[in-house]
Structure 1
Amino acid sequence: MSTVVARAVAVAEDAREFPHVLGGVKLDGPAARLASMVERDFLDEAGWDPAMRVLSPPAEHRLLGRRVCRAQGCEGTAHSRFRVVCHRCSTRLTGLGMSAEEIAAAAQLPGEPARAERCAVPGCQCVPTMRHAVLCEPHAKKFRVRRPRRSLEEFLADPRVRPFPPMRPCQVAACTRAADGACGYCNTHYQRWRAAQGSDPELDQREWQAIESGVAEPGQVNLRALPVRVAVEVLFGIQQRVRGGAQIPQVSLRVLCDTLRRQQVGSIEDGEVVRDKPVRVLLTALTQHVRRALADPGVEQGKDVWDLAIFGHRGTLSFLGIGQPWLRRSVKRWAAEQLPRHRGRGAARVRSKVNALGLLSEYLGCRSDRGGDPAALGRRDVEGFLNRLAYLESSDQISRYRRNCLCRDVRAVLAGIRALGLTRPGQPAAGLPGDFALGRSDIPAEPERGEPGRDLPPEIMATLCANLATLEPVDVRVAAQLGIDTGRRPEDILGLPLDCLDRDKDGGPVLVYDNHKADRLGRRLPISQATAAVITEQQDRVRARFPAIPPARLVLLPSPRRNPDGRKAISIDMLDNRHREWVDALPMLRTREGAEFDKTKITPYAWRHSYAQRHADAGVPIDVLAELLDHRDWGATRRYYRIGEDRRRAAVDAVTALSFDRHGNRIWRDAQSFLDSEHARYAIGEVAVPYGTCSEPSNVQAGGGACPVRFRCVGCSHFRTTVAHLPDLQAYLDDLLHTRERLAATVDGVDEWARLDATPTQEEITRIRQLINRINGDLADLDQTEQARIHDAVAVVRRHRAAHAVALGMPTARTAAVPAPATTAEATA
């Protein structure tokens, strides 16, 4: 037995049937692999008939369905131009004198006579194919030629008229109708054949029968006469596209199948591009799904452009910019080893390094040998490349930062090539000298950066919050609100599940999110009641939009496109684009000094820097701020806010350590022992009051404008103060004593109840005195050095507070109930 015959026998033995995909056909190779991935449930849902090879999706299917004509008894698809009726019924109803407006407004539209399901001749098993005919075509022909002419009733009563058995199927392979007569075609294909033969007398009839499309039936997509593998590929592609939430118009799918049938390609990947854009887009999408399902990562690595979806990433990775074959193969090996180590958008790092090697390849191409021999390279080539980068920087073609990145990327890839052993004999980079490498000293020194400045000034924040209601759509607006209120990264906000809101043991709201950048899951951040209300409202909207989907499978910010199950969140690109459009549409923004503010600095990530700066200005210690920002390294936290000077930051820490409650008890020591969530809540859940801070939730939410006890702070358990407020407390005590003495004197025209109500109480005066004495007593217990340090710290903090009247709390777009509409951002300005 020859090798070819043996291989054919082995393939035939490996072939097997997939009855739910194609009935009566054995599949092998790629077709069998794809058929094994086509789900029976999906095919049942899509109305697939594996014997007839016809797809009949239910009209109400969310992605494969259609709008049925409203005329009675009509199964046609409503035309996009007429909206409620099909093209045939529009023509018919217009002929009856109805206008387009009347057709659209009518509650009920008359239908055309029902089509005959059987020939009128008793016992005849043929079916009339003409729309209004009552006789099958053979009997209709006899009726037409019968002489003398008789009525239909007389014809049917004639004993010589005998019934016919079912007609043979139409000879067109894709047709589902029966032949009308001896010609072997149904009436429609008989007319088509005559027209095609008239246009091309030499047309091969058998070839025409194999590639001609079937008669389009309402609500059906015909896959008959498609090559077996192509039919399986189309079904698999439809399944994947529907599972991805994309809608597939039946018209486009029908045109695509007819096109593939005419082309008679062996695989959908060989299909030629069509002019119709929706069909072309559909062909590209189905081809992509099929190629990825059959792809082998090893085979993909041999290509010059990789589809990163095969490696679990998005986009493509091109090596076309690397001209030297040895370098291209080496970089491919390095990239294949690196891709599994990255997640999310980490493939962009690999892509940037490959592009850096493209620049090195471009320089090596200037050599006489084009850099084709790795053994001929050396340190001089490295120095020449570094000089080339220096020239590009000096000519403003690249920045210093870009130059540093290129050096680091080339250094990393060349080191990786050596680590993989690719310079050994027999490997792509065999013979590459050891001095063809970049060392640390080859990387230019990075310019010393100034203080971080990506936060937005308070007055700009106030303007943005006041106009936040104009940001559309609502999902993007909610994302912006959560970014302002919580300081989370945009990707963390977009990744929030629907059930992201929880409560701590004290009943306070907590945001549960995943830190995708650091791969830290289930992080908990205390938030305000106002922020929790925003999340609750969004949850209600999402549940109303997807009532049939379990809440555990929904996301908080679902995408409006290709998302029938509510599982896919809006993309970063959508957030950036809508946010940019909103910012650009705002009127000119000006700073406190009157200068125009650069709108390009207002990005979704700027909310995070503003969050950090706001809390740093309010004296939140760096360890607490690092916890709020979910940083492991305090060095990363320092890059998020401006300190101004070390002395000022140290002063804030020193003053915060001397914090007191209304009774004069030291409280910051106790706060150090709190749980992380309680400690963070202590740091963010307060608002400034005249001589301390207040942590009463409703007052914090209203930016200090909703005090329920009319600012009798020393009588409230939510009040706390520091040594920096000692002058304010002393001034307030003097004011209370002065007011009491003045009201004790006789004042004409004042009722006694009003005098008593306005007179400060002895309890409040006593409480203020006790608090002042306790703070002074703690200061007296310190040695002279510590007292001097505290006095200097108080001076620094008070100067800073006077210049930046910033209260703790998150700026929001919601307005306070009292005393006047205002945002928390306005309160912090």
Structure 2
Amino acid sequence: MSEATRAPIQLLVNASARERRDRLEILTALLAAPGVEPVYRESVLHWPGDHPVYGWFCRVNGCRAARTNTVDLCHLHRADWRTAKQQPGATRREFLRTAQPKVLDLRLMEPPDCRFCPERPSRHLGLRLCLTHFSRWNKVLFRKRDLTYDEFVALQTEALPGYGDCLVAGCVGRADSPLRLCYVHDERYRNDGRPGGAQRPAGWGGDRVVGREPVEITCTAPDAFRHWCRTARPASRAGTVNLLGLAPLVQAEIRFGLLAHAQKAQRSAWPLWHIQAVANLARLRGVNSVLDLLSDPAALAERERRILRETADELRIVYVTEQEAKEAGFLETEHYGIRYKRRSSHFDFTDVPQRWLRDLLWDRVARRLRSPQAPRSPQHIECGRKACVELGVFLTAVAPGGGHDPTVLTADHMRRFVADHNKRAREGLPSLAIRRDGRPMKVTGYTHRQVFNQARSILRDALETGEAERIGLSREFIIALPTARRSERTRSPFPDPVARALADETNLQLLSDRFDPNDMGYRDIWETLVFTGRRASEVTELRLECTSIHRRVPFLWHDQTKVGNLDEAIRIPQRLYERLEQRKQITIERFEDLYGRSPGPRERTGLALFPSPQKNPDGTVAITYSIFGDAFRDWLEALDIGAWVPHQARHIVSA
């Protein structure tokens, strides 16, 4: 975890008892809202097997067995599919249609009552016998007595008293012996080396009756035994997340994280076993908040770290107010009801060295987010942050006191910054502070213009609102920063040799075979760009039902979101229409591979033509332009025809 990411986490950890109570009250109120499913309010969450987010039934139609951790098939069907796919022409959708349902493994459920003793759990699930009656039946078999099972059942006329609940804090099962542990925890206690030395008397075989023949339990270290009972993980149960034994705030935080995750349209899969692993870790460490677990992310497994980080992002929005976020140096767009696509709500400004400059940036962004015409993309936030970081780092090096006192800054300091940045842009030198993948980025004409214009806009805004006068920042310092003039040339069309290379059938096949091994449709995207002249994002975001024929003329329906035109139609060649129809069939087959059925009419309207392979539970999320752009760039390098971008296809007149 980077320093920038760690700072907001440290703001939330080590909360006082009063703060923890306040947070618990907030989360309790949010979880008690009328639209929240009751399952999110329980200490033991029981999920329906067909729940749309946390369902655990096997994907095979009618199968009620629990799926494995990483796939959507149960263990038995997973083994069957591993064998079936070795056959030529085998498809997963056909396997899902023809596979027969399996029986749920009873070991993943709470054991039923003994058929004779309502207060005791069954030790033998098939016979439904508690430990005592199972021991008695074994003696019948061992002594080879001429007694049938039905006759044995008829002789059992007395219901034995139970032993109470299991002593493990996170267990909902009942004890099946005087040791006061359920069968699962009895086995685990023995495997863990019996901490505390709790044990039954030697020779106790389970057939003594409690209350008539008292059984003495010995324990050499009671504190160690109690600690084991307090931290032992609960028994694995299908469709269940057990939060017993956790602090009330930890329980509420996990439940709220589950609720927030379920409300996202774009989300990754959270198997219940992985969620239970997070709860077990919190129980083992005895934390007061799940945020405490993120203090040392290196000690977490990847699955735990992923769930905890997303939960922390959602909790930070609830726990921290706008003003507290400003004091800590970050901003949450969710405070303004905005969440940008494929972007978290969190924007970190702590890398701006001077507090006064960081506050000017924060105030400007907050005003724009509150306005009715709030920007549609997060670019205005990122560009403003980079501009302030670049200016702030320069002032740290040249201004008195590192530039932290705005009253000492003069026009000469700004002119020196302008001269330095102009030189970096002219000579292609690295930036002072703007980095990519941990390395300083080279200052280009584009970044040079962004730094000047964004910094100038933020400072001028402070001048107009009177904030500059309030903090003592001189007008001369602000107006010394000029507007950057556009110096780059516009993109030109592809030269004929390049255009021929990018349209050559052999090269197009290379794009499909080498740079699109998972058949995401990069060639289809590229040909659509060339034939239609649309923006790349308008093509990657196409929906499944994007083509149609009217009066024998094929049309492509798309959204021109940049200019606000939705559901626009454009005529396309028959060749492109047929290619997109083939892509539609591939997308439908992949849906069937996942769900074992065809998409319904309503589902078809929302499906992406080029679905993303990540965080896309229902197929409605399209791949990003950057994914296609990376493959396109690698393709051009393999063709050795120079550096070009897909956007230049907009300048080509299609044949």
The normalised TM-score by structure 1 is 0.57
Matches within 5 A, 1:508-657: 508-543=553-588, 545=591, 547-548=599-600, 550=602, 551-585=604-638, 587-588=639-640, 597-598=641-642, 600-601=643-644, 603-609=645-651, 611=652, 614=653
The residue identity in structure 2 corresponding to 1:460 is V
Change (3 A) 1:162 1:558: same
Change (3 A) 1:477 1:298: farther
The residue identity in structure 2 corresponding to 1:326 is W
Greater shift in the superposed pair: 536-545 or 249-258: 536-545
**Alignment partner, residue 355 of structure 2:** 325
Structure 1 residue 181 corresponds to structure 2 residue 177 = yes
User: Please, which runs of 5 or more residues in structure 2 have no aligned partner?
Assistant: 1-16, 88-98, 197-220, 430-442, 592-597
Distance 2:631 2:405 in 1: 51
Distance 1:296 1:337 in 2: 16
Instruction: Give the one of 235, 242, 252 matched to 1:215.
Output: 235
**Superposed displacement of residue 352, structure 1:** 1.9
**Superposed displacement of residue 487, structure 1:** 0.7
**Superposed displacement of residue 490, structure 1:** 1.0
The residue identity in structure 1 corresponding to 2:613 is P
**Superposed displacement of residue 538, structure 1:** 3.8
Q: RMSD across aligned C-alpha pairs, in angstroms?
A: 4.7
User: Please, which runs of 5 or more residues in structure 1 have no aligned partner?
Assistant: 1-7, 16-26, 91-99, 589-596, 615-809, 812-829
- Residue 623 of structure 2 aligns to a residue whose secondary structure is coil
Instruction: Give the one of 226, 243, 251 matched to 2:273.
Output: 251
**Superposed displacement of residue 240, structure 1:** 3.9
Distance 1:446 1:62 in 2: 49
The residue identity in structure 1 corresponding to 2:463 is R
- Asked whether the 8 Å contact 2:399–2:413 carries over to 1, the reply is no
Distance 1:410 1:114 in 2: 65
The percent of aligned pairs where both chains have the same amino acid is 20
Distance 1:404 1:74 in 2: 60
**Superposed displacement of residue 345, structure 1:** 6.4
Distance 2:118 2:163 in 1: 10
Distance 2:101 2:576 in 1: 51
**Alignment partner, residue 468 of structure 1:** 508
- Residue 28 of structure 1 aligns to a residue whose secondary structure is helix
- Residue 174 of structure 1 aligns to a residue whose secondary structure is coil
Distance 2:492 2:268 in 1: 38
Aligned residues: 555
Change (3 A) 1:39 1:113: closer
**Superposed displacement of residue 348, structure 1:** 1.9
Residues 432-483 of structure 1 show CA distances to partners (whole Å, capped at 9, x for unaligned) of 222111358x456654x66x45321233323322233442325333222211
- Asked whether the 8 Å contact 2:361–2:384 carries over to 1, the reply is no
Residues 109-157 of structure 1 show CA distances to partners (whole Å, capped at 9, x for unaligned) of 9999999955465x665332256776422445678899x9795769948
Residues 590-633 of structure 1 show CA distances to partners (whole Å, capped at 9, x for unaligned) of xxxxxxx21x21x2212113x2xx3xxxxxxxxxxxxxxxxxxx
**Alignment partner, residue 488 of structure 1:** 534
Matches within 5 A, 1:260-279: 260-272=282-294, 273=297, 274-279=299-304
Structure 1 residue 225 corresponds to structure 2 residue 277 = no
Change (3 A) 1:482 1:445: closer
- Asked whether the 8 Å contact 2:456–2:483 carries over to 1, the reply is no
Change (3 A) 1:192 1:608: same
Matches within 5 A, 1:689-768: none
Change (3 A) 1:439 1:374: closer
Structure 1 residue 55 corresponds to structure 2 residue 46 = yes
The residue identity in structure 2 corresponding to 1:278 is R
Distance 2:493 2:157 in 1: 93
- Asked whether the 8 Å contact 1:411–1:439 carries over to 2, the reply is no
Instruction: Give the one of 399, 418, 436 matched to 2:477.
Output: 436
Distance 1:114 1:422 in 2: 68
**Superposed displacement of residue 52, structure 1:** 7.2
**Alignment partner, residue 751 of structure 1:** none
- Residue 56 of structure 2 aligns to a residue whose secondary structure is coil
Structure 1 residue 417 corresponds to structure 2 residue 411 = no
Residues 86-114 of structure 1 show CA distances to partners (whole Å, capped at 9, x for unaligned) of 79x99xxxxxxxxx979x99x99999999
- Residue 570 of structure 2 aligns to a residue whose secondary structure is strand
- Asked whether the 8 Å contact 2:528–2:539 carries over to 1, the reply is yes
- Residue 221 of structure 1 aligns to a residue whose secondary structure is strand
Change (3 A) 1:251 1:188: same
Change (3 A) 1:113 1:534: closer
- Residue 49 of structure 2 aligns to a residue whose secondary structure is coil
**Alignment partner, residue 27 of structure 2:** 30
The residue identity in structure 2 corresponding to 1:573 is S
The residue identity in structure 1 corresponding to 2:29 is A
The normalised TM-score by structure 2 is 0.71
- Asked whether the 8 Å contact 1:68–1:85 carries over to 2, the reply is no
- Asked whether the 8 Å contact 1:69–1:76 carries over to 2, the reply is no
The residue identity in structure 2 corresponding to 1:289 is E
Distance 1:172 1:117 in 2: 19
The residue identity in structure 1 corresponding to 2:168 is V
Distance 2:104 2:49 in 1: 23
**Superposed displacement of residue 416, structure 1:** 1.0
